[in-house]
Structure 1
Amino acid sequence: MEEKLRIDKYLWAIRLFKTRSQAGDACDNGKVKLNGNNVKASKTVSIGDVYDVKTEARKWVIKVAGLFAYSEAIKYYEDITPPEALDKITFDAPSFHTGKRLSKIGRPTKRDKRDIDEFLSEE
């Protein structure tokens, strides 16, 4: 029996997107195409399909090589992106921004506030 697999789950499982919701949003925003046509997140993936996927980091051309258990996802796709497209890519920044601020930068912590209050009250 062939397992049915949605494109948003597939793109998330092969680690093109950090979360499944990001993969679904990419589908909804027209960043995932099959044969030049936009794909909905609920589209069923078939072996041999070739998808054009645009992420923040780069543009991918992905051929589905197999359907899988999620733990082995990374083995079941082929990156067939043309070499000339890879020449245009620069990897200066990390591909995923978590939104978490860097440690020791920004607002003081509760401990910092207590230290400041203690310092000011000693005068």
Structure 2
Amino acid sequence: MDTTRIDKWLWAARFFKTRSLASDAVERGKVKFNGDRTKPSHNVKIGDTLLIDNGATEWEVVVCGIAEKRGSAAVAQTLYGETAASVEKRRLTTEQHHFFREPASALKGRPTKRDRRLLDQSSS
């Protein structure tokens, strides 16, 4: 077994929760095979490069192993190797996401009159 369908591989490598989600992503062009769009039935082999966008994260991976069945997460991680550029890009993306911190999250219970004044003053 040196090749397998791209949708099966994406599912086995745990990039998508179901095989049908993987197939839909390939059809919509969210998965690029060696830089080009492809079909879900296209075969992948060791050494191929895939650009994968599952909506939340983007990866650039090189196929290091072939599997037809979905195994544990530890086994799935051995099926691919992420490129250094992809790792750096994901790190920068997560650092740029500064989520709004709720001002009252540091307070325990209901705010006092003084706490309320401070909250109102900081929001103005």
Aligned twin of 1:76: 79
CA distance in structure 1 between the partners assigned to 2:26 and 2:68 by the alignment: 22
Runs of 4+ displaced beyond 4 Å: none
1:41: Cα distance to partner? 0.3
Q: State the superposition RMSD in angstroms.
A: 1.9
Once the two structures are TM-superposed, the CA of residue 73 in structure 1 deviates from its matched residue by 3.2
- The unaligned stretches of length 5 or more in structure 1 are 93-123
**Alpha-carbon deviation of 1:34?**
1.7
- Aligned-pair identity in percent equals 39
Q: Does structure 1 residue 26 correspond to structure 2 residue 25?
A: yes
Shift in Å, 1:69? 5.5
Kindly provide the CA deviation profile for residues 68-110 of structure 1, in whole angstroms up to 9, marking residues without a partner as x: 36323332111115244111145x8xxxxxxxxxxxxxxxxxx
SS in 2 for 1:26: helix
Equivalent position amino acid for 1:22 in 2:
L
Match of 2:53 in 1: 54
Structure 2 matches for 1:1-123, cutoff 5 A? 2-68=1-67, 70=69, 71=71, 72-80=75-83, 82=85, 83-86=87-90, 87-89=92-94, 90=97
Query: Quick one: distance in 1 between partners of 2:39 and 2:7?
Result: 8
- Kept in 2, the 8 Å contact 1:62–1:81? The answer is no
Q: How many Å separate the matches in 2 of 1:6 and 1:56? A: 21
When normalised by structure 2's length, the TM-score is 0.64
- The alpha-carbon distance between structure 1 residues 69 and 20, as it changes in their structure 2 partners (threshold 3 A), is closer
Query: Cα offset for 1:26?
Result: 0.4
Tell me which of the two structures has the higher relative contact order, counting C-alpha pairs closer than 8 angstroms and 6 or more residues apart. 2
Q: Which amino acid aligns with 2:25?
A: A
Q: Would you tell me which structure has more helix in proportion to its own residues?
A: 2
**Structure 2 residue ranges without an equivalent (≥5):** 100-124
State TM-score, norm by structure 1: 0.65
Shift of 1:12: 0.7
Q: Give 1:66 deviation, angstroms.
A: 1.4
Cα distance in 2, alignment partners of residues 50 and 66 from structure 1: 12
Question: For the structure 1 residues 52 and 81, does the alpha-carbon distance in structure 2 shift closer, same or farther, using more than 3 Å as the test?
Answer: farther
| Aligned mates of 1:69, 1:43 — CA distance in 2 | 14
| Count of residues in Structure 1 that have an aligned counterpart in Structure 2 | 90
